[in-house]
Amino acid sequence: MTRVADAIDKLLNGVGLVTAWLMPVLMIAIVLQVIMRYGFDVTSVKLEELQWHFYAVAMVLGISYAFGRDAHIRVDVLHHRFSKRTKAAIDAVGIVVLLMPFVAFLFWHSLPFIRSAWSVGERSNAPSGLPWRWLIKSVIPLGCVLILLAALSRFLRCIATLRSE
C-alpha cells in the first residue's frame, strides 16, 4: 500500500517542483509589468493575462502537492489533541466522504466547460490578449486528477497507520 503512495508522492513532488519554478517566472512577469507601467507608461494585456495564467496553473497544480504533503491550511481546533490513529481515521473518512466526491464532481462538470473552450478555440476577450485560453482551462481536469491521486496517497497512508497501531 505504501509503495503505491510513494509512487504517487514521487509524481506529486515533480508537480510541486514545476509549480515552484512557476513562481519566480510569475514574479518576473509582475515586476516587468510594474516597471513598464510606472516607468514607461506602457501596458501589456498579454503580459497581464500571462500573470493570471501562471498564477492559475500554480494554484491548480500546487493544491495537489500541498494536499499530498499535508501542508495545506486546516482549522486545527481539536485535531491536534487526537492520537495518531484517530487522526488517520478522521482523515480517511474526510478524504472518502468529502474530498473525493467533491473533486470527482468538479472534474466531471469541468469537462463540458473545457470541451466548449476547445471547440471554439477560446481566446481572450481583449483584442491584444492571449490567443489560447482553452489551454489554460484544460489545467482544471488535470488538477482534479492530481488532487484525486494525492487523496489516494493520503488515504493509503491513513489505512497503513490504522493497520499498524
Q: Is 162 exposed, middle or buried (0-12, 13-18, 19+ CB in 10 A)?
A: middle
Q: What is the pLDDT of residue 165?
A: 59
Q: Which residue ranges of the chain lie beneath pLDDT 50?
A: none
Angle made by CA atoms 91, 60, 133, in degrees to the nearest 5: 155
Q: What is the pLDDT of residue 92?
A: 94
Q: What is the pLDDT of residue 93?
A: 95
Give residue 122's domain range: 2-73+82-164
CA 6 to chain centre: 19
For the stretch 120-155, pLDDT in tens is 888 888 888 888 888 888 999 999 999 999 999 999
Number of domains composing the chain? 1
Give CA–CA dist 69/1, Å, rounded: 17
